[in-house]
Amino acid sequence: MSDMAKPAAPASAQNTVPALLQTLGIWIIFAAILAFLPFVFSANAAITTMCLMGILVVFALSYNMLLGQTGMLSFGHAVYYGLAAFVTANAIKYYLAGGNVSLPLIVIPVIGGFAGLFFGIVFGSFSTKRGGTAFAMISLGLAELVSSSSLVLRSFFGGEEGVSFDRTKLAPLFGYTFGPQIQVYYLIAFWCFVCVALMYAFTRTPLGRMCNAVRENPERVEFVGYNPQFVRFLAFSIAGFFAGVAGSLAAINIEIAQASFMGAAQSGLVLLAAYIGGVGFFVGPILGAILIQLLSVKLSDFTEIWQLYFGILFITVILFAPGGLAGLLMMHAPLWRGPMGTRFARMGRLLGSYLIALVPALVMVIGASLLIELIHHVAQKSAEGPAMHFLRLRWLTINSHSLLIWAGAVVALVGGFFAFRMTWPIVRKAWNDAAADAQRSVS
Amino acid sequence: MLYFLMAAGLTLIFSMMGVLNFAHASFYMLGAFLGYQISQWAGFFPALFLAPLIAGAIGALVERFGLRTVHKYGHVAELLFTFGLAYVIEEVIQMIWGKLQVDYRKPEILDFSAFTILGTNYPAFRVFMLVFSVLIFIGLMLMLTRTRAGLIIQASLTHPNMVGMLGHNVPRVFMLVFGLGTALAAVAGALNGANQVTQANMAALLGPILFVIVVVGGLGSLLGGFVASLLIAFVVIFATGSDASLSKIVPWLTGVQFQPASPSLLNDVWTVTLAQIAPLLPYLMLVLVLIFRPTGLFGTRDT
């Protein structure tokens, strides 16, 4: 660790007073948004969704510490999330709720964090010896090992039912017992804020920078005199800590820890969230976590096979936008230069070209989803008769046996695709014009 | 032997193209479902031929329009792409055939017991599966080592630029090899789907084991895949049949008697039998092999 504790880079232009205020302002706005969200979206379902979002944000950021920052593709990050959830649940059930130790619920995620850190150190000590595909394979093997042992070690993992507990039995904090969901929301929001701030701070430390160097070129790091294996190990353990906090929050949220917390599906979900959001940027996983959680709630209202749409979205992002959502947004940052008036005018023109391309893209997406829903209906629900509601819209009943509908879906898909291709030069021209304009206004 | 047929396709794809195909088990599942659907219309044997053909064609298209695009972003992107593909294939299969198992049966001419060992009947269909797999294995080996096509394939692996200079279309070779690998997986699916249950979680059950075999056997080695699949099958079968546990072994070895309190973690560890942890053993082997011998048993290349 001593060689990591070198002084940071000399104060750059970013550390001037206005820049500092700006940074501080962003965090204050973030805290304010977290605090006021329940007033805007006050429905019970919305608050439940926001709780899940907060947990997934912490988990996805911790995952990104591995994938985005240090370049380690893990297929088993849910192991630390799940184990911490079980440690939390067991701790509350057997030792804390009895009243002999009076800890308020709000400090419990620290227990989960240290559990995650502990297992991160244990498993990381050998799995981080190598990077790349070998690491991915070891993480996959470890995940399978731990999740299948949960069915063998019944007294700790509680077998099929999991370990449940009553969160209100802990010592109250200022009279709050954390029974109602809204109080749990604030608990999660508090930890979400703390973890996001800590993880952002981590990216600015010399160790965080070293992680990026290991991602880019481990051999070079070794030549410079650092041990890439040790850097990977440290990043892995710290990521384990934050995954543990997230797992602990998840257990507190639904008052139970289950074997599914550690499963491959959970590891896959966090990978999806981080990657769709964009692993190259700090805000990426936050965006991804919010989007994935929102989609999984909203899409399931419209269609039974919403997970298919998820998978298609993921593949589309890998194929066409490897930077994720954040990458797409950040592409526009260089255009946001020069005097205010020209900035907005420039963006307006670019958005106009996007709108032109959006119409055929929408036609294409509607055609594709119509086709998917038709196939699903004919293959799975032929017993219910030919009539179906497209996307469960009550006013939109279609006859799935009519050839016209099928032909329409295919025409919309294919026609939309070619029309979309034709609008591409328009978008490219608008983009080039905007870039040239931005260049001119600066120089 | 089924493991081996799968591992052969995966090894081919991996050693050839350097793509660790996460969706390989999904093509196996696709083969099983296509086999079921075609056997409904045309009978088992046409299905056994057509299902791999269709799955191989889909695989080739995936390579052409998917993998080749992400190739420039590096190995991690390729791995992620096949991971997403596995997810999508599973969902598509659920969308068309549902989550429950389908009624995919072995053909009636092969539905009898071939011979009897130790009082258990050995079904003829298994013999057929075994013979079929061995024939495919021999054919594959001969093709790779003895024919001109095999020569070009092997050369494309090591010296793609040189082969390209000689006038061969290397990207098309890659596409065909990927198609061949997925078709092999689909053969295994079409065979084994009829033998065991065919349902939408087949891939998730088999997928991780495949990686164990390829990694333990050594990347890029067909022989290694063969040995590892036998080894793992034996270990699992032996462990499943054994009821040894720490509570039996330790007193037998040392004479120490010890009885932990009954509902505790220590008690769980103490009394768990080898049969209960049998499904865990392959993964334990994977982790150990990767730690101590990253090239695998017969591998020549690093992971």
Q: For residue A13, what pLDDT is reported?
A: 47
Identify whether the C-beta of residue B48 lies closer than 8 Å to the C-beta of residue B187: yes
Residue B206, exposed/middle/buried by CB under 10 A (0-12, 13-18, 19+)? buried
Q: For residue A242, what pLDDT is reported?
A: 93
- In total, the C-beta contacts within 8 angstroms joining chain A to chain B are 129
| Concatenated DSSP letters of A271-295 | HHHHHHH-TTSSHHHHHHHHHHHHH
Of residues A247, A188, A252, the one with CA closest to residue A38 = A188
Residue A68's pLDDT band (cuts 50, 70, 90): confident
Helix, strand, coil percentages (3-state) for chain A, rounded to 5, are 75, 5, 20
What average pLDDT score do residues A371-394 get? Answer: 73
B113-117/B120-123 β-pairing? antiparallel
Q: For residue A59, what pLDDT is reported?
A: 92
What average pLDDT score do residues A208-233 get? Answer: 85
Residues pairing with A399 in the sheet: A387
Of residues B85, B86, B93, B90, the one with CA closest to residue B37 = B93
pLDDT, one tens digit per residue, over A265-292 is 888 888 888 888 888 888 889 998 998 8
Q: Count how many Cα atoms sit within 13 Å of the Cα of residue B160 in the half-sphere of its side chain.
A: 10
Q: For residue B254, what pLDDT is reported?
A: 66
pLDDT, one tens digit per residue, over A159-183 is 777 787 777 776 666 766 676 777 8
ipTM for the complex?
Answer: 0.78
- In chain A, residues with a C-beta closer than 8 Å to the C-beta of B87 are 268, 307, 310-311, 314
| Concatenated DSSP letters of B86-140 | HHHHHHHHHHHH-SSPB-----GGG-SEEEEETTEEEEHHHHHHHHHHHHHHHHH
Specify the range with the lowest mean pLDDT, choosing from A127-136, A315-324, B238-247, B258-267: B258-267
Q: How far apart, in whole angstroms, are the C-alpha atoms of residue B3 and residue B278?
A: 17
pLDDT, one tens digit per residue, over A349-362 is 888 888 888 888 88
Q: Tell whether B96 is within 8 A of chain A (Cβ).
A: yes
Chain B 14-73, CB below 8 Å of chain A: which residues? 20, 66, 69-70, 73
Q: Is the pLDDT of residue A7 over 80?
A: no
Q: For residue B286, what pLDDT is reported?
A: 81
Q: Tell whether B283 is within 8 A of chain A (Cβ).
A: yes
Specify the range with the lowest mean pLDDT, choosing from A23-32, A98-107, B23-32, B191-200: A98-107
Q: What percentage of chain A has pLDDT greater than the value 70?
A: 88
Q: Is the pLDDT of residue B204 over 80?
A: no
Average of per-residue pLDDT values in chain B: 76
Tokens of B127: 């013999």
Nearest residue, CB atoms, A305 vs list B73, B91, B287: B91
What average pLDDT score do residues B174-178 get? Answer: 84
Nearest residue, CB atoms, A311 vs list B84, B269, B284: B84
pLDDT, one tens digit per residue, over A88-121 is 888 887 777 666 566 777 788 888 899 999 999 9
Q: How far apart, in whole angstroms, are the C-alpha atoms of residue A384 and residue A103?
A: 55
Q: Tell whether B142 is within 8 A of chain A (Cβ).
A: no
**Contacts for A50 with CB less than 8 Å, ≥ 6 apart:** A37, A38, A41, A185
Of residues B9, B14, B4, the one with CA closest to residue B30 = B9
What average pLDDT score do residues B69-88 get? Answer: 82
Residue of chain A with shortest Cα separation from B302: A134
